[in-house]
């Protein structure tokens, strides 16, 4: 079907607008006094899978350095690199055996410094992933801790006697399957691990642990890092009396009875630890992003701290789980927007099925990917992207249990195939291994890499990649998208989500068709003038933006002058 108002036309309009408004916008942002992270676009890089400079099949830091110009032209301000520290790689880096070095598989500290310096030249900040809840069982702290009950690091982890009948200390379960307790025959006690047995939980009640962790952040801040994404913050503390968790109805994906994890998750002490980490971050003007899985917006709000003294950017991990519909999204954005914190929208990451696959309907997959981008990248707040999202990379789940790399996938197969599918190599070209490596990639590239890759999409002004580029350019240069208030329009419309982002005498109008049918939307929004900015599958009526015809999953963006 003909795309009436195509992306290419609006790109031309955008370039003109950018030139016109860039200077004023920079000033407005400074004058408003907003910190850098509120307007930055963050981009998550899974280093194993981004770019492989030495062709060993696994990505590395020099690979990332070689792709900085790509990130710059995409419009990224900060990259969050998932753990690249020395690690036995049981949980692909989330089992850290030394917090102040790099895994040789990824490079050296000198490579890191080079990456940092080159990123800085392009105004791209580096955010590292800090695994605060646990270390690897090969970390020297744990090796000492397990060596004897009297060791200097014994109390750095959570050790307890088992029950008299030979059972573990209580009924807590590891989120990765099995019990959360592992018996150690040397010292005849159990240690606690919320994740794999190779990831023993640190004892944050011990001030020496707290100090060591705070010092780790200082080490990296001094090396130029602009902040951390804090892993699994809700599991930092456990009930010291080790009370059993209540069993609740239903079974989990491993077939175990569900439990209410009230004694080993989201304990109030978490907030004390976050305040401490924030104090250190503030000394360096750094940002703390949180992996904050919550059940609702009010729970999420707690992570900002009563005095905005905890996480600046607790991730909204609720949006990605909502049913795809204008109505649910409208309700959620309204709730986030009125909650008082600065929203942090994320639609996909390395632990969940890629957004492209999750939302695909088999017929309009690319249109839906563009629509989702036009939605979450125009909201008030900070956006965190995941590598390859901008290409429409899809999940490539293992075909058999033997192919699975993620241990969780082996344990829960076939109910859950693990997380390999969302961690496959970045798709740079339509050539061998999608241009990721000359070697054997650690995970296979899906057939869709032939069409969904950087080189191919760069040539097509209607591609998902070019739509992301246009959206990010608008997001950086339109004051209303940076500063603007959010106001929902046409609240009864079940198919089309429409809103204004307004700042001073301008508004950005966003109209999004979340249905697979053509929609006609009438808007009663007065304006002295308007200019269409970007669209996909949209056509205006004779009265201009006041009547918009949207093809299935089409969208339309305009700038209105009051």
Output the smallest distance, CB 195 to ligand NOJ, in A: 4
The 122-151 contact track toward ligand NOJ, x by CB under 6 A, reads: ---------x--------------------
Comparing every residue's Cβ against ligand NOJ, the nearest one is 94
Comparing CB distances to ligand NOJ, the nearer of 292 and 456 is 292
Catalytic residue among 283, 296, 361, 460: 283
Among 94, 159, 499, 514, binds ligand NOJ (CB under 6 A): 94
Among 103, 111, 201, 231, binds ligand NOJ (CB under 6 A): 231
Output the smallest distance, CB 232 to ligand NOJ, in A: 4
Output the smallest distance, CB 131 to ligand NOJ, in A: 6
Pairwise CA distance, residues 174 & 456, whole Å: 43
Comparing CB distances to ligand NOJ, the nearer of 195 and 486 is 195
Comparing CB distances to ligand NOJ, the nearer of 352 and 360 is 352
Helices (H), ranges, 441-488: 454-458, 464-477, 479-483
Query: Are residues 233 and 277 in contact, defined by beta-carbon separation less than 8 angstroms?
Result: no
Annotated catalytic residue 458: no
Helices 269-283 and 207-222 cross at an angle (nearest 10°) of 30
Output the smallest distance, CB 406 to ligand NOJ, in A: 9
Among 232, 373, 511, 550, binds ligand NOJ (CB under 6 A): 232
**Is position 351 an interface residue for ligand NOJ (rule: CB under 6 A)?**
yes
From residue 476, alpha-carbon distances to 282, 395, 481 in Å are 25, 29, 8
Cα 112 to its chain centre, rounded Å, is 22
Query: Are residues 196 and 91 in contact, defined by beta-carbon separation less than 8 angstroms?
Result: yes
Pairwise CA distance, residues 362 & 360, whole Å: 6
Output the smallest distance, CB 199 to ligand NOJ, in A: 6
Residues 6+ apart with CB under 8 A from 46: 59, 82, 350, 387, 423
Query: Are residues 467 and 475 in contact, defined by beta-carbon separation less than 8 angstroms?
Result: no
Tell me the site size for ligand NOJ, rule CB under 6 A: 9
Among 44, 60, 77, 91, binds ligand NOJ (CB under 6 A): 91
Pairwise CA distance, residues 351 & 365, whole Å: 21
Comparing CB distances to ligand NOJ, the nearer of 252 and 351 is 351
Comparing CB distances to ligand NOJ, the nearer of 91 and 366 is 91
Chain positions 278 to 317 lying near ligand NOJ, rule: CB under 6 A, are 291
Comparing CB distances to ligand NOJ, the nearer of 261 and 291 is 291
CA atoms in the 13 A half-sphere facing the CB of 208: 7
User: How many CB atoms are located within 10 Å of the residue 117 CB?
Assistant: 11
Annotated catalytic residue 60: no
Pairwise CA distance, residues 231 & 548, whole Å: 43
Query: Are residues 461 and 7 in contact, defined by beta-carbon separation less than 8 angstroms?
Result: yes
Catalytic residue among 95, 198, 231, 337: 231
* Binding interface with ligand NOJ (CB under 6 A): 91, 94, 131, 195, 231-232, 291, 350-351
Active site residues: 231, 283
């Amino acid at each position: 079907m003909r795309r009436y108002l195509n992306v290419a036309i609006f790109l031309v309009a955008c370039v003109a607008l950018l030139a016109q408004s860039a200077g004023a916008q920079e000033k407005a942002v400074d004058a408003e006094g907003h910190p850098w992270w509120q307007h930055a676009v963050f981009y998550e890089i899974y280093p194993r899978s981004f770019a492989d400079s030495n062709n060993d099949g696994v990505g590395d830091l020099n690979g990332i350095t070689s792709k900085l110009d790509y990130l710059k032209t995409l419009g990224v301000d900060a990259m969050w690199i998932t753990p690249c520290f020395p690690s036995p790689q049981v949980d692909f880096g989330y089992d850290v055996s030394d917090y102040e070095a790099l895994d040789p598989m990824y490079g050296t500290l000198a490579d890191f410094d080079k990456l940092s310096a080159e990123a800085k030249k392009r105004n791209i900040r580096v955010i590292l992933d800090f695994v605060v809840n646990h270390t690897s069982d090969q970390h020297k702290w744990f090796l000492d801790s397990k060596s004897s009950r009297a060791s200097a690091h014994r109390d750095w982890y959570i050790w307890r006697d088992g029950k008299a009948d030979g059972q573990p200390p209580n009924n807590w379960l590891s989120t990765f399957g099995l019990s959360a307790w592992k018996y150690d025959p040397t010292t005849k006690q159990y240690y606690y691990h919320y994740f794999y047995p190779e990831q023993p939980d640190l004892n944050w009640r011990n001030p020496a642990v707290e100090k060591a962790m705070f010092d780790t952040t200082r080490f990296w801040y001094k090396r130029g890092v602009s902040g951390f994404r804090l892993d699994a913050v809700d599991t930092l503390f456990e009930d010291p009396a080790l009370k059993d968790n209540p069993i609740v109805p239903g079974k989990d994906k491993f077939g175990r009875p569900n439990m209410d994890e009230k004694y080993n998750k989201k304990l109030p002490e978490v907030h004390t630890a976050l305040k401490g980490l924030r104090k250190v971050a503030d000394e360096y003007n750094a940002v703390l992003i949180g992996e904050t899985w919550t059940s609702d917006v009010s729970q999420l709000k707690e992570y900002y701290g009563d005095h905005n003294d905890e996480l600046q950017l607790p991730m909204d991990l609720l949006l990605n789980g909502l049913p795809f519909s204008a109505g649910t999204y409208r309700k959620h954005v309204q709730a986030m927007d009125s909650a008082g914190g600065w929203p942090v929208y994320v639609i996909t990451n390395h632990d969940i099925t890629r957004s492209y696959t999750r939302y695909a309907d088999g017929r309009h997959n690319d249109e839906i990917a563009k629509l989702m981008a036009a939605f979450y990248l125009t909201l008030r707040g900070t956006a965190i992207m995941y590598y390859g999202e901008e290409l429409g990379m899809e999940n490539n789940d293992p075909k058999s249990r033997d192919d699975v790399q993620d241990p969780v996938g082996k344990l829960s197969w076939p109910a859950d195939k693990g997380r390999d599918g969302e961690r496959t190599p970045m798709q740079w070209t339509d050539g061998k291994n999608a241009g990721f490596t000359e070697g054997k990639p650690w995970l296979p590239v899906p057939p869709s890499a032939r069409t969904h890759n950087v080189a191919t999409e760069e040539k097509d002004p209607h591609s998902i990649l070019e739509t992301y580029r246009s959206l990010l350019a608008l997001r950086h240069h339109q004051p209303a998208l940076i500063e603007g208030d959010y106001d929902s329009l046409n609240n009864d419309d079940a198919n089309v989500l429409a809103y204004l982002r307004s700042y001073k005498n301008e508004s950005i109008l966003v109209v999004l068709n979340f249905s697979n049918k053509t929609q006609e939307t009438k808007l009663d929004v007065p304006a002295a003038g308007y200019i269409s900015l970007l669209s996909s599958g949209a056509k205006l009526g004779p009265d201009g933006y006041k009547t918009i015809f949207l093809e299935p999953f089409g969208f339309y963006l305009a700038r209105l002058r009051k």
